[in-house]
Amino acid sequence: MAWLSRAADGSVMLTLHIQPGAKKTEIVGLHGEALKIRLAAPPVDGKANAALIAYLAKVCGVSRSDVVLVSGESARAKRVRIIGAADAALEGLVPDGG
């Protein structure tokens, strides 16, 4: 899975493609080498980034402070670090067939 890598410190790095302003927040599959996530939040005033962090924290079973936006603050292409996510929790991110 090119979109997911584990760092030496045990954290997980995700390469994401974000579609803000969707009808609902969901993981939809792959977009090239990135995991595509639709967000119901609009891309204004950091709302989409906040929604992304909250969604990933919920799916991975970690606190919001353990989800860090590393790059792509104002872009659709983002890199996110998740600290302390168990492998079982990460299975919730894997799209069908991916």
CATH number listed for the domain at residues 4-93? 3.30.1200.10
Reading the block at residue 85, the tokens are: 């996510």
Q: Give the chain's mean pLDDT.
A: 92
pLDDT in tens, 2-23: 899 998 898 999 999 999 999 9
**pLDDT at residue number 94:** 79
3-class secondary structure, 9: coil
To the nearest 10°, the Cα dihedral for 78, 91, 41, 79?
A: -10
pLDDT in tens, 46-71: 999 999 999 999 999 999 999 999 99
pLDDT given for residue 89 in this prediction:
83
Flag whether the pTM goes above 0.75. yes
